[in-house]
Chains A and B, each alone.
Chain A
Amino acid sequence: MTARSGLLAVATAAGWLALALAAVTSQSTPLVAVLAGLLSLASWHRHGRAVAVAVPVGCVVLLASASSVLLAAAAGVLVLVQLVLADVAADAHGARRAQLRAALSPLVPGGVAAAVVAVLVAAAALIGARAPTAVVAPAVLAGPLLVLAAVLLALGRETRRDFWRMLTPRRRLSALTRRYVERAGGRS
């Protein structure tokens, strides 16, 4: 087994485990998990990237009718592992294990942080379930929107960094204005 095959095998196993965890307490039909699991096998083929989100979408469908928060957190972490490993494996044709370790090592801190956040959010959700409804209802509605807005803001800030940087000089005085100010004896 090559290093890439091993990586894909781990990714597939993580995806199937996530689907199984999502299906444990779900009221949806288990056929969703089976179908998503089969579609996830397409990541073994070089042209099968279009169905790479089959596992997360399947998990969302299953978790929409599930009750366990802890299983949802575990499924989220496993889906993250599956997505990352499948993405690295797509660029790992003929790669050695040392190269794979070097490619994955920068991603480990972010993955650990994501898992910690998942546990914290799950704990908050469990605590919130025992809190009064008047407090929980707005939090459940606003929480996802706030997280999504924060992520989009971070994404937009990074993608448009050049744009913001370009705006900075415009706030300064133009050459004509600066010359006028200098002649008038003002600040330059």
Chain B
Amino acid sequence: MTLGRSADPQRPRDTTVRLRWSPSRLTRRLTTAGGLAAAVAAFAARPGLLVFAAPLLTALALWVRRPRAETLQVRLDLERPQTTEGLPVDLQAHVAADGPLGSLRVAARGEPQVALADHVLVALGPVADGEWSAAPTRWGHWVVGTVIAEATSVHRGWDARAVVQAPALTVYPPATAAARVPPPPHLRARLGPHVSRTSGAGVEFTGIRPYQAGDPVRRVNWTASSKADELMLNEYAQERMGDVVVLVDSIHDLGPAGASTVDVSVRSAAVVAQSYLAVADRVGVVAFGSALRWLTPTTGSRQFYRVVETLLQARQARTYVDPSVDRIPLAALPNGALVVCFSPLLDSVAVEAVRDLRERAHPVVVVDVLTERGVDVRGDEDQLALRIWRLERAAVRRSLERIGVRVVPHAELDDGSLHWLRPGQEPAQGPVQGRPGGVGGVG
């Protein structure tokens, strides 16, 4: 029974557990041996067995005295409350009783998403200190595990067990900024890292033109001016920033834990966000699942953690309301922002959302995160069904490509360069063409 906890939910975490004593291992063994010998002595009339049972039962009667310790103080301290997938975190435990104890065994049991080292700490006394290494295997908000303390009384006649939940751990997906980041197609009229087509006050040389009144004299190209007999001026490209919105479709989550479509989507989305934030672009996020969540694009390293926190919620809330792009405010989807959508393209709602975004003249790149791993094909009918399913998915991809959406299979991604982020070709008749049929329609 838990009596009280510290006010700080993170670290360190103190828990007081009231001990509920029960007969120990030694008590059960002495009872078994002594009781068996006494019973056989009674039924077989063997005084030798009674003599044999006498010391066992006497010790049992003397050592069965009630233990004095009543509570256990368990102090759990997590090295840090956040980590990245695969990066281990140390969990320290300090267990102390309020009275004398014969021995104290402390073990930790991990959750499926957090692997804990399997070792048991044993101390002959009322205090035990231990440390376990917790290696998270999947991003999300998880409880590290449970710590189990087993106490034995001084005379070893009684055992008690206390189970305490370890602190919560936030696991971020691993995100390393790509070495090369293609500029978004539409750049904003703000100073940024990307070279634009318009001339301005950048550092990228674009050409030479005749001097006009009002031009700064320091940009006069004297070599070219002496050859042309008139003042010539160096021209430089304007450097501007772009807007990138990462959209993660979490309506369906297919595949094994740790490698499901949402897992893959969130990991890749974190890489894209980190890469663009590293070059000082504005990055926002839309978690397009049962619960629609969004984050307004902005710059800075702190934005990465906001983006990841929003992505971590992609798997949590479940509602019966279909998400819709119409509910996303304009600030979260700025005009002309590059939309990178990670989706298995299974739900018509998600496909319609992609079309809707394209109709609003956003350059859109869709990453198809669904793979055929684990598909069990046994007979001819299965083969035929798989073939039809592939055709339907190809039709969906083709319908999106016809309206200028680039669809990239996740297997072809290269997180090192992000060259795949260049949007598709503009349709010949304008940004939007006629909308094809439903999900399975062929455009």
Give the dominant DSSP class at B's interface.
Answer: helix
Within 8 A of A (CB), among B1-46: 22-23, 25-27, 29-42, 44-46
Contact check, B61 vs A118: say whether CB atoms are below 8 A apart. no
Q: Is B283 in the interface zone, CB < 8 Å from A? A: no
Q: Is B155 in the interface zone, CB < 8 Å from A? A: yes
Could you tell me how many residues of chain A have their Cβ less than 8 Å away from some Cβ of chain B? 66
Docked pose: A53 CA to B31 CA in angstroms: 10
Inside 8 A of A33's CB, which chain B residues have their CB? Answer: none
Decide yes or no: A87 and B156 within 8 Å by CB, A111-B59, A115-B55 being known contacts.
Answer: yes
Contact check, A117 vs B45: say whether CB atoms are below 8 A apart. no
Query: How many pairs of A and B residues are in contact by the CB < 8 Å rule?
Result: 192
Decide yes or no: A147 and B57 within 8 Å by CB, A83-B33, A158-B65 being known contacts.
Answer: yes
Q: Is A91 in the interface zone, CB < 8 Å from B? A: yes
Docked pose: A137 CA to B65 CA in angstroms: 34
Docked pose: A91 CA to B54 CA in angstroms: 27
When C-beta atoms are compared, the residue in chain A nearest to B27 turns out to be A155
Among B31, B34, B48, B59, point to the contact of A63 (Cβ < 8 A): B48
Contact check, B42 vs A114: say whether CB atoms are below 8 A apart. no
Among B26, B51, B65, point to the contact of A76 (Cβ < 8 A): B51
Chain A CB count within 10 A is highest, among B29, B32, B45, B52, for: B52
Q: A69-B47, A92-B103, A95-B122 are in contact. List 14 more A-B contacts (CB 8 A).
A: A56-B29, A76-B52, A91-B102, A94-B122, A99-B124, A99-B125, A102-B125, A103-B102, A114-B54, A118-B54, A118-B58, A121-B51, A144-B38, A161-B66
Q: Which 4 A-B pairs have the closest CB atoms?
A: A56-B33, A114-B55, A91-B103, A72-B48
23 example contacts (A-B, Cβ-Cβ < 8 A) are as follows A49-B25, A56-B36, A59-B52, A60-B33, A60-B36, A63-B49, A66-B48, A76-B52, A76-B55, A80-B55, A91-B152, A99-B124, A102-B125, A106-B155, A107-B155, A113-B58, A114-B58, A118-B55, A118-B58, A141-B42, A144-B39, A148-B34, A151-B34
Residues of A within 8 A of B (CB): 22, 49, 52-53, 56-57, 59-60, 63-64, 66-69, 71-73, 75-77, 79-80, 83-84, 87-88, 90-95, 99-100, 102-103, 106-107, 109-111, 113-115, 117-118, 121-122, 125, 128-129, 137, 140-141, 143-145, 147-148, 150-151, 154-155, 158-159, 161
